[in-house]
Structure 1
Amino acid sequence: MASILHIDSSPRGDRSKSRKLAKEFIAAWQDLHPDDVITYRDLRQTPVPHVTEDWIAASFTAPEALTSEMAELLKFSDALVDEFLAADRCIFSVPMYNFSIPSNFKAYIDQVVRVGRTFMEENGQVKGLANGKKLLFITSRGVEFEAGSPYKGWDSQEPALRYAFQYMGVTDIQFIHANGLDLGDEARKRGLDEAQSKIQKLVNDW
């Protein structure tokens, strides 16, 4: 029995393609692993606050030196970190916004990249503490990035996600991209069909 963390980040509801694809993956996964425990978080319903100067000061304060006000500032972050660290596998659905990630998921990342919790410094080197888990990002993207595309090299989404979680020690990171969703009906269908095909394959191999 595994612990699964599923997070949706699109501000859209039923119209969201990234949510729909992640839901398909979760449903197929549950069919194969009915005993797994799934924790769900919707960043549309529970927005993540952006960090502040006071939050940063609290996050770099030793636990035994935290004031009650500092502890309160970190309370939501602590809950997110505990949730993330407890998961064996994470499925994050993240749409592409302006070639990168939406601000709510960037705020989530800023809340879980925590010194002493998800990374530490050792002999002048950063050591990730969130080892041994698997991450899957399911994304929706309006354009395509393959060779010949005018947007080749413009993808700031996958690198931002990959490096943030690698920094915390996660090495098993996979992506399923639904590309070209704003390029007309044919491209949209192709992008969704390819993503769904990859979902069906990965759900059996992950």
Structure 2
Amino acid sequence: MTTLLHLDASVRGERSLSRKLSRAFVQAWRQGDAQTQVIERDVGRNPPPFIDEAWIAAAFTRPEQRSAEQHEVLRISDELIGEIARAEVIVLGTPMYNYGMPAALKAWFDQVIRVNQTFSFDLARGDYPLAPIMAGKTLVILASRGEFGFGPGGVREHMNHLETHIQTCAHYLGVNDSHVIAIDYQEFGDARHQASLAEAFEAAASLAGQLLGQRLAA
């Protein structure tokens, strides 16, 4: 039985295209496997708190030496990391805000990329002392972008700090395989946008079937 962690990062409700796209992916997966468990985490509507000095102090204190207050500071982080640990597939619906990720999504990453929880630190590794603790997870990024040309070779590839940042961070959550499907041209609202919409929803359903098939065959 597969467990999906379904994250949504848009501050919009039903107007959100990334929400609709991520929902379509999860529905397609469930149609292929009704036994799939889905953990829902909406950071757009319920953003985690930003980390602060107290959080950092607690995270770098040995668990047996933490005060009750420090355990409470890390309570949300522990909960979010637990969701990641349970999931084999992370399904992330997110818009592009100012060419990067929404602040709430960045806050989520800051809460879950944590020393001795999701990554280890060892100077014996030389110039690359950080290593993920978890492994074997698949990430599916389902994005909506106002402009276009953000993919490899595109006219705005150099401006894409959304998927690239997410994929860099996701490495420390044990992600070994990632996929990106995006809706473009949202700000134009023209025929190109309609075509991008149709292509994205078709691709999401196809990818869900493909990944599910791989897991069932494994």
Under a length normalisation based on structure 2, what TM-score does the superposition of the two structures give?
A: 0.90
Hey, what does 1:68 align to over in structure 2? 68
Hey, what does 1:130 align to over in structure 2? 134
Hey, what does 1:83 align to over in structure 2? 83
Query: What are the Cα deviations for residues 53-102 of structure 1, in whole angstroms up to 9, with x where unaligned?
Result: 11011111111111111000000110000111111111010110000010
Q: Residue 143 of structure 1 is aligned with which of 138, 143, 147? A: 147
Contact map agreement 2:4 2:91 (CA 8 A) in 1? yes
**Paired amino acid for 2:146:** G
What CA distance in whole angstroms lies between the structure 2 residues aligned with 1:79 and 1:167? 17
Q: Does 1:183 align with 2:194?
A: no
1:1-206 aligned at under 5 Å gives the runs 1-122=1-122, 123-124=124-125, 125-145=129-149, 147=153, 149=155, 151-206=156-211
Under a length normalisation based on structure 1, what TM-score does the superposition of the two structures give?
A: 0.95
Contact map agreement 1:181 1:187 (CA 8 A) in 2? no
Identify unmatched segments of 5+ residues in structure 2.
212-218
Measure how far apart 1:148 and its partner are. 6.4
Which 4+ runs in 1 deviate beyond 4 A?
Answer: none
What secondary structure is seen at the aligned counterpart in 2 of 1:91? strand
What secondary structure is seen at the aligned counterpart in 1 of 2:26? helix
- Give RMSD over aligned pairs: 1.3
What secondary structure is seen at the aligned counterpart in 2 of 1:171? strand
**Paired amino acid for 1:76:** I
Measure how far apart 1:144 and its partner are. 0.8
**Paired amino acid for 1:128:** P
Contact map agreement 2:183 2:196 (CA 8 A) in 1? yes
Percent identity of equivalent pairs: 34
What secondary structure is seen at the aligned counterpart in 1 of 2:159? coil
What secondary structure is seen at the aligned counterpart in 2 of 1:114? coil
What CA distance in whole angstroms lies between the structure 2 residues aligned with 1:105 and 1:44? 7
Contact map agreement 1:127 1:169 (CA 8 A) in 2? no
Hey, what does 2:216 align to over in structure 1? none
Measure how far apart 1:161 and its partner are. 0.2
Identify unmatched segments of 5+ residues in structure 1.
none
What secondary structure is seen at the aligned counterpart in 2 of 1:115? coil
Hey, what does 2:215 align to over in structure 1? none
Measure how far apart 1:170 and its partner are. 1.5
What CA distance in whole angstroms lies between the structure 2 residues aligned with 1:35 and 1:152? 39
What CA distance in whole angstroms lies between the structure 2 residues aligned with 1:35 and 1:157? 32
Question: How many positions carry a matched residue from both structures?
Answer: 205
